[in-house]
Copies of this chain bind each other. A is one copy, B any other.
Amino acid sequence: MTNEEFRKYGHQLIDWMADYFNNVDRLPVKSAVKPGEVIGRLPGKAPYEPEDFDAIMADFNEIILPGMTHWQHTGWHAYFTANNSYPSILAEMLTSTLGAQCMSWLTSPAATELEERVMKWLGEMIGLPGDFDGVIQDTASTATLVSLLTAREMASALEINKTGFYGQAPFTVYCSTEAHSSIERAVKIAGFGKDHLRKIPVDAAFAMKPGLLEEQIEKDIKRGLKPLAVVAALGTTGSTAVDPLDAIGKICKKYGLWLHVDAAWAGTALLLPEMRYMINGIENVDTFVFNPHKWMFVNFDCSAYFVKDKAALIRTFEILPEYLKTKEGTAVNNYRDWGIQLGRRFRALKLWFVIRSFGQKGLQQKVAGHIRWAKIFAEWVEEEQGFEILAPYPLATVCFRLKPSKLNDEKKINALNAAFLERINRTEKIFLTHTKLNGKYTIRFVVGQTRTELRHVEDAWVTIKSIGSELLRESKF
């Protein structure tokens, strides 16, 4: 492809992209393809001769696009959002053009210094104290692993990095029963073993019970184990429950435990001062992660990881072979030593574009809207006969189900709600997913797509209500 062709196809693609956002809401939000349908249409062998871009785009439109689930659809209410935005996409275009690999200051000084500055902005924007330094990770899974590894090395005086685990008492890690699966994965990778992950029971609001956390720590100490770290969730994946950070932090301080906060989705809400009650107790936190790529209009991937002791982080990961030595040495940030991967994309650019383009005001307005509309949705659900709210909704996620007044068999209620969700998603207009809370099949309604407005939430409720009523009539309860 020549430079002229690139320019031509690039302009074509920009129109495709702008049109996509105008048209995506007319596409089925969740693809209806069957397993094997897409791969069956792709040739078994790679082409030997070069192919025209027009042919590739034609296949993209005909084969790939109908097989996509559209995360940027205004009817996206599933999982959590991974929302993008126009300024973020424009920044990604520059990032891919520059193609800089940002492992060291030297390999892209502006990328390093922009990351440092933008992460300072971001920390301040969400109310973190000034003593946190930030670095962009790819995902919260990675950030949580990085945090637990740092905790491990600080607790062992870097001894595990050096000689391995041998001869040490087992470390234990604590989170709530509602915490994210990435914590279990990190505990396995770090070599602690999932048997040493203590899942502390939650209260009626699905938040960790600090009293039980302390009991468990005491028990483990008595058994000769070494309590290492707590992972507190601000906004669990199931119901966006908020663990009591202040109480947990005091326990961590008392027993000398590391405290990591997983605010992957909910961190964005901290842009609003009225939501900062969630970080009461932040002074006892060691590390904190939230994902601007979930709810802050920054393209996936961009996970903001904040640490109080950057020296601890760097000492855990630093490696300096001859071929990576530069004369600037440690007078500059070399972010390759702030995590697992050596290679790094220039991800600070999209964060910068988004923050400047929206302004703090614009970001706050959008997020406040999402939270407000979710509450409105929840009120509609509460008022509707045969519907039930299953968890508090402190943020922009509502957990609910159908609950016919005369049906009390939980198994049957679960089956009814699985059918309910299936039927909702079959409309192809909105997409919701489920979880289980106290064994109850729970439908989650997440508001957070970039272009979703109150009217989309209203439309969604009309659909959900009418399918629900239909099912209630059919089921005769």
Contacts and interface: CB of A to CB of B under 8 A. Distances in A.
Given A190-B189, A322-B436, A355 B47 contact: yes
Contact of A110 (B38, B53, B138, B433): B38
A187 to B, nearest CB: 9
A69 to B, nearest CB: 5
Contacts of A20: 97-98
* Residue in A10, A68, A164, A180 with the greatest tally of chain B CB atoms within 10 Å: A164
A449 to B, nearest CB: 10
Given A17-B93, A84-B96, A98-B71, A191 B190 contact: yes
Contacts of A192: 164
13 contacts: A17-B93, A37-B113, A47-B355, A51-B356, A99-B300, A141-B343, A161-B194, A165-B191, A166-B170, A181-B321, A293-B343, A323-B434, A323-B435
A332 interface: yes
Interface in A1-51: 1, 3-7, 9-11, 13-18, 20-22, 30-31, 33, 35-39, 42, 44-51
A184 B318 CA distance: 10
A164 B331 contact: no
Contact of A97 (B17, B145, B196, B238): B17
Given A46-B355, A300-B343, A33 B109 contact: yes
B328 A35 contact: yes
A356 B56 contact: yes
Contacts of A116: 39
A341 B11 contact: no
A219 interface: no
A60 interface: yes
Nearest to A437: B322
Nearest to A161: B188
Contacts of A340: 141-142, 145, 185, 189, 340
A181 B46 contact: no
A467 interface: no
B165 A359 contact: no
Contacts of A160: 188, 191, 193
Contact of A101 (B71, B85, B124, B237): B71
Given A106-B69, A319-B185, A341-B141, A1 B357 contact: yes
A65 to B, nearest CB: 7
A194 B165 CA distance: 11
A105 interface: yes
Contact of A109 (B69, B121, B138): B69
A149 interface: yes
B343 A35 contact: no
Interface string A242-278: 0000000000000000000000000000000000000
A122 interface: yes
A417 interface: no
Nearest to A32: B109
Given A50-B359, A164-B192, A300 B71 contact: no
B18 A56 contact: no
A100 interface: yes
A427 interface: no
A342 interface: yes
Nearest to A343: B139
Contact of A323 (B49, B79, B120): B79
Nearest to A106: B69
